[in-house]
Every structure is written in C-alpha cells, then in structure tokens.
Structure 1
Amino acid sequence: MHFLGIDGGGTKTDFLLLNEEGNTVRQRRIGTISYKQIGMDNTVWVLRENIKEILGGIQEKVYICIAFPNWGESAGNDILFSQRLHEITSFPVKVVNDSMAGWAGSLGLQEGINLVAGTGSIAYGRNKNGEEARAGGWCELFSDEGSCYWLGIKALELFTKESDGRAEKGTLLEIFRAYFCLKEDFDIIDIFEKEYKNDRTKIASIQKQLYQAAVSGDVEAQKLYISAAQELAVLIKTVYRKLKFQMEIAVSYSGGLFHARELILNPLQEQLAASGLYLCMPKYMPVQGAALLAAWEYRKEEAFIERLLKGLKA
C-alpha cells in the first residue's frame, strides 16, 4: 500500500509518495495546479501526467489526497472536477481544500488550528470531536487579508505614497526603482498593467521586495507586516470561537509568508497572546499532511497513523 499526497498552492504544487512505514518513496515539485489560474483542462492534464510518472512501476494499490486552493469555493467547479477524476487516475482519490492539508501536516492530525498564509490566507481547525471550521480564503480581490498577495498590493500602495511624499521615504522606494528598472516612478503603472495585473502569483511575489525594505529599516514596510499579523490573528481567533475551544490550543502555520520569520511571527504571537493562544512550529509539511489524509482515508486507526508518523521525516 502507498499513499500519495498532493499539495497544490497558488504558486507551487508538491507531490509526496509514502509507503506504509511512512518512508518517502518519491517526491517532486511543479507549478500551480489551480484551475482558476491554468484552467480545468490543464489541471486535469498536469495531474494525470505527474501522477503517472510518480507512480511509475508501483504495482500495489495507492490512496491519493489532492489538496486544492480552490476546493469548496465553487460548487460547479467541485462537481466538474469530481466528474473528471477518472481521467486522472483509477486509484481512490480524496479531494480537500489545501487548508486541511496544512492542518493535517502542521499538527499531525491532532486537534488545533493551522494558519495558511502564502499567495492567499486561510485558517482551518478541528477539535477532538472531529468538528471543523475555517475563516478567510475567499478571493484575493476582496479577501485574503494578511497574505503575500495582500502585502504585494500594500507594497505597491506604499511605493506610491513614498514617491509622492504621503509617507516617509524609506528603502522601499529605491528597492522598487531598482527591481522594476524604473526610469520614472510612474512607469510602475504600465509595468503593473502589462505584467502583473492578471497574475496573482506575480503580485504575491512583490512581498519579497517589501521584506527587503522592512529588514533594511523601512519603518512603513515594517508596519505592513504588523497589519498583516493583525488580520491573520482575526482569522485564527474566529476559528477558535467557532470550534468553542475553551483552553489553550496549538496554533501552527504554513505558507510562503513565514519566510519573513520574526517580521510576521513576532507581531502575530503578540496578537494571539492576549487570547491565551500560542504559536507552535509545524510538525510536518503540508504535502506530508496530504499524504496523512490519504492514509487516514485508507485506515482510520490511530495506531496505524502513529506508525506512519514515526517513519515521517519532519
């Protein structure tokens, strides 16, 4: 028996194949499989070809879990994708929102809350009774607060303010000018319209320039990470309230934003401390969480999962 976890985010997709001892058999990373970004036909084709390659030579039965950033957000697309699963593989497939894979990996299928803050943002939790709740993860155009996309837009806004003099000039100004090769600051409008406007992944990547500005002392850039932490804390507290937790509970995290380390983690912990919540390092990666969900679908036994966890490498 093998278990294949597929964690598809807004930027990248990880594949991980485990055996029954929890040992890694094969793994790979490709671009996004979000059908919002590449279309349903391309999503089906990419999944089929990559699953075929990663399972090449495997004779035993395989249980698969695909974690999507889109799942559960469009009834029509959920139905359409479910109807096309037979085009992808003949093995059993469980499809979940990628926030569930983040929770399963970061907390090893134990009760608690996981915050995903990458291209988008969402919090997902589960209590000991198996009840689940989520907050956030709506749409980057009117939600995804605190995410890399959100910070990318905020960074562009801050650039315009620093250029105008509406905000104190900081290092972000020169970082943007160099990164975008601007001859005039207003050139950013044309560059955004042509290269970034319809690409949420590229907009999210602008957060990296904001990070450079923040670590080099740009006070206004640092304030944006504090604002992001405030938004993310609201997501976590909302899930906490929905699940009626009445004690300290583990809150873990995953996603590209946390490459900013203390810039986001310190203010986030400060926001949570007043509510008796604490952050804990994720135990495993989201793709490992997807593989664990595939294994749980095969055998819902804690002893079996414990054996699997012993073989996993954090």
Structure 2
Amino acid sequence: MTAANQNQTSPALLVDLGKTKTAAAVSLPDGSRRDLPTGPGAAGLSQPDGLSDAVAAIAQVAPPDAVAAVAVGAAGALAAPERRAQLAGELTAVTGAASSVVTSDAITAHLGALGGQAGVVLIAGTGAVAVAVTRAGAVHICDGAGPQLGDRGSGGWLGRAALDLMSEGQAQAGVRAVVQTTLGADWPAVAARTDAAAAAERGRLVPGLAELWREGDAQAAGLFDRAANELAATVRDAIGYDDAHQVALLGGLGGLGPRFVDLLGARVPGVTWLSPKGDALDGAALLLTHHDLPHETVVSRSVA
C-alpha cells in the first residue's frame, strides 16, 4: 500500500484536468489504482467559462460507481483561487462524494513527483514550468507563461525554433526533412498560428528532431542545446526560492533520456536530477490522506 492511500478507507476519484485532456483513476483502499478512460480537457479555471467547463470535463470521466471523495488537479487553479474553491464545492454535488479537494495540476504533479515533499519540479512537455514549494508552504511558479510569452525550452518552443529555421531559409537537410515529413506542405500555416493548440502541433516535431540529434546532426544538437539553456534558466529561478539541491523532471522532454538530463545538469551544477516518484494522479491521492503538506496553502477543500 502506498503512502498516498495508506489511510484511505473508501474508493476515491482522482483527476488530472489539463487543457488538452483529462486523466482519471479510482484509488482503492487496498492500495491499487484503476485508471479510467481519458476525456477532453478544459481551457482552464481562469478562463470565462472555466468553472462550468471543468465540471463538465470531470463529470465525463467520473465512473458510474459511487466514490467517497474526489481529488482534482486543475489547470488554471492557481490563477483563480475563488473558482478553485467553487469547483471543490460543486464536485460533491456532481459526483455524490462526501468530500472534495482541488488544487492546480502543476501542484498535483509536484506532489506526485516528490511524494509531498518541498522542493522543485520541472515540467517540460509541450509547455514548460518549474514549480518550487518551500517548507513554509510558499509556492512559486517560474515560466509557464504560455507559448506566446514563455514556455522557454519546451517541446512547443523547440518546434517553433525549427520552424523559424525553415522560415528563414536556414534549415539544413535533416531539420527540413523532419518538418516536411511531420507537418507536410502546410508547415508555414503551423508556423504562423498563434492559438494555444499550435504549440502542440509544433511539439510534434520533437521526436524527429531528437532522432536527428541521436544520429549526430549538428543543427538538431544546437536546438537541444538552446532548449537546455532556457530550461536551466527556469530551474535556476525556481531553486532561488527554495535553495533546493534536488530537482525532479517531468514531461515529454524528460523522456529524451540521460543525454538531455546531462545537458541540463551541466548548466545547473550541484543539482541532483531525480526520477519522479509518481504522477499527478498519485499527487491527487496524497491530498486525500494528508492535510499538513506544504502545498496546503494552495488547496481548496469542501465537505458535503
């Protein structure tokens, strides 16, 4: 039985509510977890229809069987604390649960990665954000500003950098082939888009660029060097809040393996890069059984 549910006595619904998809699972008292089919995401609690969209997305993934509690990590919850509290209140009615707890999806990712401890987590996928949680309960978010203003070094940023090379006529054969194979002849339209979904489209270039890098392509290597520089700067910002010596790496870029971690490590000396202990759903489960974690300052709870 894991620490997350060692005090759990009834089934509970765990939800990771992102902007592109919603992952969910039922946590059982025997320590097991039954993953549920994923559903669509929601634009974020801070958006105009953020609360109703979040309720609808959670209702879509909720199981038909009864659950005693609900724990949710929702995108936009840090920027909209009033709606975070409202969502916690509505979830007991929507799911029939006796209690609910809501925080940000970045916080549940942090909780899962470090097992509820203070420290720094770098989440580098389509976007990029570093979350620092201090022992005193202060929460600091570094970057995570979205594809137009930030997400430096992310998968979307890497794709943008490759498309910039194409637009400027500087892409060499390898990068050019990855772009044309992945995005086709319409790549200029993807390069010109500014909507949030465009970052995910550009992020589709990362696997091909990573393969080029492994094959020794110098231009691809330069792109990953630049991405590591940007992510390292974000990590240094986060470490400054907590004086952390250990950082957990999450997200798609973490899946690039030791070679990319080595790039980051060379730019942030003195830091040990950890494999995450668990995922965001594990982090949500921790909130059901622990009310004294440093993260509690950005958590909303409700009882039916």
Regarding TM over 0.5, the answer is yes
Q: Contact between 1:170 and 1:219, CA under 8 Å: does it hold in 2?
A: no
Q: CA RMSD in A?
A: 3.1
More deviation, 285-294/76-85: 76-85
Partner residue in 1 for 2:260: 264
Identical amino acids, percent of aligned pairs: 21
User: What is the rounded CA distance, in whole Å, between the counterparts of 2:200 and 2:209 in structure 1?
Assistant: 15
Aligned to 2:55: 44
Q: In the aligned structure 2, how far is the partner of 1:207 from the partner of 1:294?
A: 36
Aligned CA distance change for structure 1 residues 131 and 35 (closer, same or farther; 3 Å): closer
Structure 1 counterpart of 2:187: 188
- 1:304 matched to which residue of 2? none
Match of 2:274 in 1: 280
Q: CA deviation at 1:254?
A: 1.0
Secondary structure of 2:290 counterpart: helix
Q: Pick from 41, 58, 65: which aligns with 1:32?
A: 41
Q: 5 Å matches for 1:1-314?
A: 1-35=10-44, 40=50, 41-51=52-62, 53=63, 56-58=64-66, 61-62=68-69, 64-74=70-80, 78=84, 81=87, 85=91, 88-91=94-97, 92-161=99-168, 164=169, 166=170, 169-182=172-185, 187-190=186-189, 192=191, 198-243=197-242, 245=243, 249-273=245-269, 276-297=270-291, 300=292
Name which of structure 1's ranges 34-43 and 94-103 shifts more when overlaid on structure 2: 34-43
Rounded Cα–Cα distance in structure 1 between residues aligned with 2:287 and 2:179 = 42
Q: Is the 8 A contact 2:38 2:61 kept in 1?
A: no
TM-score (normalised: structure 1):
0.77
2:226 partner amino acid: S
Which amino acid letter does the alignment assign opposite residue 48 of structure 1? A
Does structure 2 retain, via aligned residues, the 8 Å contact 1:252–1:281?
A: yes
User: Are the counterparts in 2 of residues 170 and 218 from structure 1 also a CA contact under 8 Å?
Assistant: no
Letter matched to residue 282 of structure 2: Q
Opposite residue 138 of structure 1, the aligned amino acid is: A
Q: Deviations over 1:232-270 (max 9, x none)?
A: 222222222112x2xx63211111222222342121111
**Would the alpha carbon gap of residues 177 and 5 (structure 1) be closer, same or farther in structure 2, given more than 3 Å must change?**
same
- Partner of 2:24, secondary structure, is strand
Q: Secondary structure at 2:184's aligned position in 1?
A: coil
Q: Which amino acid aligns with 1:261?
A: G
Q: Amino acid of the residue matched to residue 111 of structure 1? A: A
| Structure 1 spans left out of the alignment, 5+ residues | 302-314
Is residue 232–residue 267 contact of structure 2 (8 Å, CA) maintained in 1? Answer: yes
Displacement after TM superposition at 1:134 (Å): 2.3
Q: What residue in structure 1 maps to residue 4 of structure 2?
A: none
Distance 1:265 1:213 in 2: 17
- Cα displacement (A) at 1:78: 5.0
Check conservation: 1:170, 1:220, Cα contact below 8 A.
no
Give the 3 Å change call, closer, same or farther, for CA 170–122 of structure 1 in structure 2. Answer: same
1: distance between equivalents of 2:194 and 2:131? 33
